[in-house]
Amino acid sequence: MHIPSIFEGNKMTVKSKFFLTALPLLFVLFSIFLYERMLDIKFTDVLPNISGQPRSGIGDSIVYKIGVVSRFSPSLLYRGYQPLISYLNSQTPFHFELRLNKTYSEAVQQLASGELEAAFLGTYVFLKYMDVQPIHAFLAPLSSDGQPHFRIVLITREDFPYKKLTDFSGQRIGVPSPLSFSGNWLQKYILPKVWPAGMPKPQFVSYDFHHTVVQHLIRNDLAGGVVKDRVAEEYAGKGIRIVRRSRYIPASPLVRGPASDQRVIEAISDVLTRIPDRKRMVLKEWDAEFRHGFVRVKDQLYKKFKQELDEGEMSGFISFHISH
């Protein structure tokens, strides 16, 4: 039985020519579509468990949701947070899924209502809501020195002739979310105390993400930027420098709500604070904020800081530290 070929007597049919001509174009279009989908991960609901670990034990009939508000781009957030969730799924009898909240207030409300078992909140947001909602800090990430804290830094390009703060008079300075200490530090806590009267202040430009601030600075869209220290350190050797640092601020906590199951909270705490040496390589897959592990914390750490801030006694917070 003769099966027709697209080649008959070395002569290609019109249909075959069209097919072979269109095939490379279709491949290119599909590749572009796939690439864009990879960079634009949608978090419209709950992210699936990709740990590959079977559910087992007492928690296998319940899905425990852990909320996070995107301070970074969705693709960065997924790469940094999902491995941590997968680790919890593999090391506890419970099943966890990551939920992206659109706003911090949404995350807090869902914690208070019991829809979320826990949530990653920024320090600024936790201080704002801790006295008006029944939420409590129970874990915080460690910095490279083994303490649950971070610093805010003022950065410039290496070629910017910075000598003093007033060099930014009339200049554009990028900041992240206004619901973060990085978004408030310079314009709310520093400038009102030190800026000369009558001198034009910097123009602050808000961006959704810390990394976006640095990228616009590198592109020369800004004269300066304010971000977390660890974000600036990711760009070391890429044309930026740190010119000022804040004193230490309590790290962004993992927070529970009033309806959170204490067994689940204890399991999360136990697993994340007791990662054995043989498994510490997994930390390299997590968000940079979590690379040094976690420690148990209590609300008192944040209450003390908030009291000092409210009473205007944060000389260490307000003061600059020169970076050499």
The whole-number average pLDDT for the span 275-297 is: 92
Q: What is the model's pLDDT at position 60?
A: 53
Last residue of a domain, one of 209, 226, 246: 246
pLDDT score for 308: 84
pLDDT at 251 over 60: yes
Residues contacting residue 283 through CB under 8 Å, at least 6 positions apart: 275, 290, 291, 292, 293
Let me know whether 156 and 136 are in one domain: no
Residues 73 and 137 in one domain: yes
Cα distance between residue 138 and residue 294, in whole Å: 10
Q: Are residues 144 and 158 in the same domain?
A: no
Residues 140 and 63 in one domain: yes
Q: Per DSSP, what are the bridge partners of residue 206?
A: 175
Q: Do residues 200 and 133 both lie within one domain?
A: no
Phi, psi of 104, rounded to the nearest 5 degrees: -65, -40
Strands 11-12 and 254-256, sheet pairing? unpaired
DSSP 8-class letter at 286: S
User: Distance between CA 247 and CA 150 in Å, rounded?
Assistant: 8
Count of other CB atoms within 10 angstroms of residue 322: 8
Instruction: Say if residue 229 is in the same domain as residue 269.
Output: no
Q: Each residue of 269-303: b (16+ CB within 10 Å) or e?
A: bebbeebeeeeeeebeebbbbbbbbbbebebebbe
Question: Higher model confidence: residue 8 or residue 14?
Answer: 14
Which runs of consecutive H residues, i.e. helices, occur in 40-188? Answer: 74-91, 104-113, 123-129, 181-184
| 105 vs 52, higher pLDDT | 105
pLDDT tens profile 88-115: 999 999 999 999 988 888 999 999 999 9
Q: By CB neighbour count within 10 A (0-12 exposed, 13-18 middle, 19+ buried), where does 219 fall?
A: exposed
Does 316 fall in a domain? Answer: no
Q: Tokens in use for 227?
A: 């971000």
Q: Determine contact, residues 213/175, Cβ cutoff 8 Å.
A: yes
Q: Are 255 and 209 found together in one domain?
A: no
Could you tell me the end-to-end alpha-carbon distance of the chain, in angstroms, rounded to an integer?
82
Asked if residue 324 belongs to a domain, the reply is no
Range of the domain at 175: 152-246
**Last residue of one domain, picked from the residues 198, 217, 246:** 246
> What whole-number distance in Å separates Cα of residue 226 and Cα of residue 168?
13
One DSSP character per residue, 102-130 reads: SSHHHHHHHHHHTS-SEEE--HHHHHHHT
State pLDDT tens for residues 154-165: 999 999 999 999
- Residue 204 and residue 190 in one domain: yes
Count of beta carbons in the 10 Å neighbourhood of residue 216 = 16
For the segment 133-147, the average pLDDT, to the nearest whole number, is 96
Q: Does the pLDDT value for residue 322 go beyond 90?
A: no
CATH number at residue 157: 3.40.190.10
> Under DSSP, is residue 258 helix (H, G, I), strand (E, B) or coil?
coil
Tell me the pLDDT of the chain averaged across its residues. 82
33 confidence band (pLDDT: 50, 70, 90):
very low
What is the amino acid identity at position 136?
Answer: H
Q: How confident is the model at residue 69 (pLDDT cuts 50, 70, 90)?
A: confident
Q: Which helix (H) or strand (E) holds 270?
A: helix 262-273
299 and 255, same domain (yes or no):
yes
Is the pLDDT at 53 greater than 70, yes or no?
A: no
Count of the separate structural domains present in the chain? 3
pLDDT at 41 over 60: no
| Pair 272, 114: CB distance under 8 Å | no
Residue 310 CA to residue 128 CA, distance in Å, equals 11
Could you tell me if residue 112 is inside a domain? yes
Instruction: Pick the last residue of a domain from 246, 269, 291.
Output: 246
- What is the rounded average pLDDT of the residues 261-288? 94
